[in-house]
Amino acid sequence: MAWIVYLLSFLGMTTFYVIPVHVPFLIQEVAQVGNAAAGAALAFSTLIAGIAAFNYPRLKQRFTHYQIYGISFLLTGSGFLILSQAVNYFTVFPGLFIAGAGAGLIMPNSNLCLVTLSTPESRGKILGLLTTFIFLGQFASPILTEPMVSFTSIGGAFLYISLALIAGATISLIRNRRSV
């Protein structure tokens, strides 16, 4: 079970880091704005992720860990779908809002899931491995996504990633309908 959480955390961080890696270039494609404007957009997404993480306990009262993963990936995928269709600076923000909300649920969900599964004696090792997979996801993000960007475009990469996230989230939510 822990390996599933590690894999989901890796995928969550890989997709979350698509935002800081590729959104500045997407913004430059759709709007000729300065670096400060691109930085503001990235900060907005991170702020929304923080707000989502802060509100995680409310969500956890109603949904299982796997349902929250499904919700998280569905939100991130939906945000990426909007980003893939962005035509100017301001149309980037709804996508960043939704994707940021989804991404903000990954870390608290993974932490709580693993703490619940672990014993006090194994907790350090288990959470250390989680941190490893989170950093590996951040490292892998540009390596895994840049070939997509090169093959299609930045918008195309967001589109393909969004479709994969939405499909995976939908399957997960259908399989995990039970609420605990």
Q: How far apart are CA 51 and CA 49, in angstroms?
A: 5
pLDDT of residue 174: 86
Q: At residue 178, does pLDDT exceed 70?
A: no
Instruction: Looking at the structure, give the CATH architecture of the domain made up of residues 2-175.
Output: Up-down Bundle (1.20)
pLDDT value at 180 more than 50:
no
Average pLDDT of the residues in 141-156: 96
Task: List, in order, residues 6 or more apart from 131 with CB less than 8 Å away.
Answer: none
The larger pLDDT score, comparing residue 152 to residue 175, is at 152
Does the structure show a pLDDT above 80 at 179? Answer: no
SS3 breakdown of the chain: % helix, strand, coil, rounded to 5? 85, 0, 15
Residue 3 vs residues 7, 9, 101, 172: alpha-carbon distances, Å: 6, 10, 24, 16
Q: What contacts 87, CB < 8 A, 6 or more positions away?
A: 30
Euclidean distance between CA atoms 127 and 135, whole angstroms:
12
pLDDT band for position 1 (cuts 50, 70, 90) = confident
Average pLDDT, the chain: 94
Tokens 């269709």 appear where? 85
